[in-house]
Amino acid sequence: MEPAYETITWQDDHLVILDQTQLPLREIYSDVNTIGQVWECIKNLKISGAPAVGIAAAYGLYLGVRDLESRNFTSFSVEIDRWIDYLRSARPTAMNSTWALQRIKQTIFANKDKELDEIKDIILKTAKTIHAEDKRGCKNIGEHGSQLIKKGAKVLIHGNTGALATGAFGTAFSVILHAHEAEKNIHVWVNETRPLLQGARLTAWELEKTEIPYKLITDSTAGSLMNKGEVDMVLVGADRVTANGDVINRIGTYPLAVLAKENDIPFYVALPLSTVDPETASGGDIEIEEREAEEVTQFGSTPITPKKTDAFNPAFDLTPHEYITGFITEKGLIEPDFEENFSSLFDRS
């Protein structure tokens, strides 16, 4: 049941990535050999989706230090910090890269008495472990979440949350995939997800690959479908979740959550726990990445607005926790009180 395609693979001594900017028209796999190329892939959305960004950043750190000639651990650790800051700068809002890089840094310091070449090998081994754990975690997310979906359900999704955005299976997409495998006869409404059309380009491509029934809709159609009783659940992913359960996700998530609450429709967020930021109290404390105006004023390279048009283009929005029905994680469903339940969960970790 695992999809035959992978966004990221480690082959011999380098990464191979499926370039998401070329989909759905072309399936282009590119070799990535340097930390600078990893940064460029993340920044320019050749790799997208919080878990996939975290995996790529982990491998990128290894590529950055692989040929580093440090005389001692102190100078080596200075370079590690520099590369971590560099990789995080590619997509600063997403949590998973911060989580993955800090995990590797902790592992490095736990082995600081070893030879530097051995530490480099440990960095690569840790990156591979993070990648493998994400695959298992996404499978668990799908298994837990599919239990929430009733037979014949109509599920609305936003953005891309499939294997393209993770190590395998996906997050919200994994729930849909496992429900389909359980023969629940579901139908999926796919928001196009302006301005970069992750829904129309990527999610639709993944649904066709897995032969799951779907229809593409414009983002502005979702409210009308809810009002007509044509949506039984809204299911999204997340780029960061704060300690109180506020969700930072692809722009357009917040209005969907408001519409779902107004129409008494469950609104679930599927994510690995590495996306949760327990050190940040609420979503208002998160700086939202703003991207180039051309993503809005152009369609590909073709202008669609008057020449002097400027645009406001935030990549994400904030959905307050009170609009969330629950979080579907690799450890199961988390319901309100989110702050208390997240806290107890991380205390046990």
DSSP for 173-221, please give it.
HHHHHHHHHTT---EEEEE--TTTTIIIIIIHHHHHHHT--EEEE-GGG
- Give residue 70's pLDDT: 80
At a CB cut-off of 8 Å and minimum separation 6, what does 114 contact?
122
Among 4-13, 81-90, 307-316, 320-329, the range scoring the smallest mean pLDDT is 4-13
* DSSP count for the chain of H helices, then E strands: 11, 16
81 is catalytic: no
Calculate helix-pair angle for 73-88, 116-146, nearest 10 degrees.
30
Q: Are 68 and 76 in contact (CB under 8 A)?
A: yes
- Give residue 177's pLDDT: 97
Q: Are 131 and 55 in contact (CB under 8 A)?
A: yes
> What's the distance, CA 33 to chain centroid?
23
Q: Give 87: exposed, middle or buried? Use CB within 10 Å, 0-12, 13-18, 19+.
A: buried
Q: Give the chain's mean pLDDT.
A: 95
H or E, element range at 298 = strand 298-299
Q: Is 5 helix (H, G, I), strand (E, B) or coil?
A: coil
Calculate helix-pair angle for 50-65, 116-146, nearest 10 degrees.
170
- Give residue 69's pLDDT: 85
Listed by start position, the domains of the chain span 8-139, 142-348
Residue 187: both structure tokens together: 């139908």
At 332, the amino acid letter reads G
Q: Are 173 and 7 in contact (CB under 8 A)?
A: no
Query: Each residue of 5-24: pLDDT tens digit?
Result: 889 999 999 999 999 999 99
Flag whether pLDDT at 300 surpasses 90: no
Q: What is the Cα–Cα distance from 217 to 228, expressed in whole angstroms?
A: 15
- Average of pLDDT values for 109-128? 96
- Average of pLDDT values for 266-284? 96
8-139 and 142-348: identical CATH topology: no
Q: How confident is the model at residue 67 (pLDDT cuts 50, 70, 90)?
A: confident
Which one of 1.25.40.10, 1.20.120.420, 3.40.50.300, 3.40.1350.10 gives the CATH number of domain 8-139? 1.20.120.420
Q: Give 49: exposed, middle or buried? Use CB within 10 Å, 0-12, 13-18, 19+.
A: buried
String of b and e for 190-217 (b: at least 16 CB within 10 Å)?
bbbbbbbbbbbbbbbbbbeebebebebb
- Give residue 344's pLDDT: 87
Flag whether pLDDT at 349 surpasses 90: no
Query: Each residue of 147-201: pLDDT tens digit?
Result: 999 999 999 999 999 999 999 999 999 999 999 999 999 999 999 999 999 999 9
- Which of 134, 239, 277, 317 is catalytic? The answer is 239
Q: What is the Cα–Cα distance from 221 to 219, expressed in whole angstroms?
A: 5
Domain 142-348 falls in which CATH fold? Rossmann fold (3.40.50)
